[in-house]
Chains A and B, each alone.
Chain A
Amino acid sequence: MAVVSLKDLTKIYDRGHAPAADKVSLEIGDGEFMVLLGPSGCGKTTTLRMVAGLESITAGELSIDGAVMNAIPAKDRDIAMVFQSYALYPHMSVKNNLAFGLRRRSVSRSEIERRVVSVAETLELTPFLQRKPHALSGGQRQRVALGRAIVRDPKVFLFDEPLSNLDAALRVSTRSEIASLHRRLGATMIYVTHDQVEAMTLGTRICIMNGGRVMQVGSPLDVYHQPVNTFVAGFLGNPPMNLLPATVTDAPGGCTLAIGETRLEVPGTRMPAHSPGADLTFGIRPENVRLGEAPGAGFATLAGTVTQIEALGAETIITAGLPNVAAPLTARVAGDGGPGVGDRVGFAVDLGAAHVFGPDGRAVTQS
């Protein structure tokens, strides 16, 4: 059992500078796969390194299974980590890389041998046990790095962008390997990535970070469908959510928004009434925007001029400029047909899937 608890965890590298991690609070349950997701410099790796014991904690409290770990050195936390660069010892064979951590922990030779052989078999590394890391492919190196963590049988696994050095195909297969590893071991895992596909497919829960702070924590679909602010809305999803500046009109009900020259009546379930003139942000995911006029109630039409077409085969991403609106509108439509660049077309927006954000960027949508 391993419950990892972060309470207001803060890291300040240089006095006078902004904290790299700012009061990060998070409870990671036993056997949970928590993904820390965010752009470069958001503090996710710093947070992970504080959990690992590789960075000192400026303020806050880290505990594992109720025991405070702030002053406990990395080696005594019973944590294993897989690094972005694999961090394999280049002068040692695969076998010695796997056994290196166990040797320090006074594990008997026969037990080390048994565990190394077992892990090598699981990860299909047996033919490479005598090879040095430089004689392995990227995928094999990544498996050795995984094996080195597994062989220690730790309470908690930490992953620091382990797939970012792999090519696209290998990334997919290694991703599913990590997922099956989590299912098999049932261990608590904390995984850092800036790749939202990894986060969505691997995480039991996702913690989205920005500027050293936690923006939102929740299951992947919850975070996707109910973003708490414009950052999360704009970060998750590819293409990201359309975020269009909107103003509340003086129409009765307080739920009618003016976006450029168009007026949209947002259902009360998606937006509480606001006083006229309030500046808000209207959010809609590209998959909730269709080509053509609104098919009926619950939809609104936004007309614009197509500026970019990205035909991906199974779907097409259409970007259009709306008159008097600073942000473009992106639609994801099935198939590869559709309008050409420069065409003026209508887009049907599903208002039932709309998100509305206040002037401070926080969601006002009622879920």
Chain B
Amino acid sequence: MAALRKSILLLLLTGYTMFAAGPFVWVAMMSLRTTTEIHHDHFGFPDPAHWNKYPDAWFNSNYATYFANSTQIVVAAVILVTLIGAMAAHCLARYRFRLNRVIYFVLFSTIIFPPQITIISLFQILVQYGLYNSKIGLMLVYVAIQLPLTIYILESFFARIPSDLFDAARMDGYSDWEIFWKVAFPIALPAITTTVILNFILLWNEFLFAVVLITEEANRTLPLGIQRFIGDTQEDIGMIATGLMIAIIPVIVIYAFFSEKLIQGMTAGAVK
């Protein structure tokens, strides 16, 4: 009976894994095939595998620049979101002050607006401040759009840190600023890591704000670079797949590296 249940579970898990990983494997196979080969047989194996497509995309299709731009913008945005978000969440969770909940609600309520609503006004603001078509401009937009969710996730975590710890640190002679860095921040690391991963993945793949706010070739991010292979009359499916794989690799590396922390952060407090 136990063996049967195990077999059914295994079958279900195999089915789900194929369903989830199927598109990824398909793109990975296409990334090693030419567009002609793909048109000939959509689901064929890469035989022969065109490994040269990767250096070709990197050096000849400007992917090195896109990759560097994405890295600069996303890493800077994630660092800022994490620092500002953690400090704001700590304040909202820890300090009793007038309008605390109102501020929290206003911050969080911005999540309900779809990005299409804010994009025109953001475009106007960036143009007025001379930040349109700049990496700093896009980075600041990324910080703004990810802050509410980051504060929401971290606030609930910070709120669960017992206040006795802060009192103990105060008795030990530490200021509020030091208590945040030496006590609250290290304790909240599992949740902070969660937000770092989520923000990194979301921003790394972000397309809508990038396509509206960046037009200059030198400032394009990876999702925009991939778009370049989509022409008016034809699409270079093979190179799109190669570009997608280049774009996905950092996400996979980060996820693989931090996945344990991610799960820890997601489930923190669930079990005593």
Contact = CB atoms under 8 A, between A and B. Distances in A.
Interface in A92-120: 100-101, 104-105
A74 interface: yes
A187 B87 CA distance: 39
B94 to A, nearest CB: 14
Contacts of A73: 170
A51 B162 CA distance: 21
Chain B interface, >50% SS class: helix
A164 to B, nearest CB: 13
Given A54-B167, A87-B167, A104 B173 contact: yes
B162 to A, nearest CB: 6
B188 to A, nearest CB: 10
Interface stretch (A76-84, A215-223, A259-267): A76-84
Given A89-B183, A91-B187, A84 B174 contact: no
A83 B164 contact: yes
B173 A75 contact: yes
Contacts of B167: 49, 52, 54, 74, 81, 83, 87
A81 B168 contact: yes
A85 interface: yes
A75 B166 CA distance: 12
A90 interface: yes
Interface in A101-159: 101, 104-105, 148, 152
Interface residues of B, number: 17
Interface residues of A, number: 23
Contact of A87 (B168, B174, B178, B182): B168
B130 interface: no
A54 B172 CA distance: 12
Interface string B185-207: 01101000000000000000000
A87 B162 contact: yes
Contact of B171 (A80, A84, A89): A80
Interface string B147-181: 00000000000000010110111111110001000
Contacts of B183: 89
Contacts of B165: 87, 89
A148 B171 CA distance: 11
B264 to A, nearest CB: 13
Contacts of B189: 91
Contact of A79 (B162, B171, B174, B182): B171
Given A83-B168, A85-B162, A104 B187 contact: no
A105 B173 contact: yes
Contacts of A104: 172-174, 178
A85 B170 contact: no
A148 B169 CA distance: 11
Nearest to B165: A87
Nearest to B185: A91
7 A-B pairs closest in CB distance: A101-B172, A75-B173, A87-B164, A87-B168, A104-B173, A91-B186, A83-B164
Interface of A: 49, 52-54, 73-75, 79-81, 83-85, 87, 89-91, 100-101, 104-105, 148, 152
Interface of B: 162, 164-165, 167-174, 178, 182-183, 186-187, 189
24 contacts: A49-B167, A54-B167, A73-B170, A74-B170, A75-B170, A75-B172, A75-B173, A79-B171, A80-B171, A81-B167, A81-B168, A85-B162, A85-B164, A87-B162, A87-B164, A87-B165, A87-B167, A87-B168, A89-B165, A91-B186, A100-B172, A101-B171, A101-B172, A104-B174
Given A87-B162, A89-B168, A104-B174, 6 more contacts: A54-B171, A73-B170, A74-B167, A85-B162, A89-B165, A104-B173
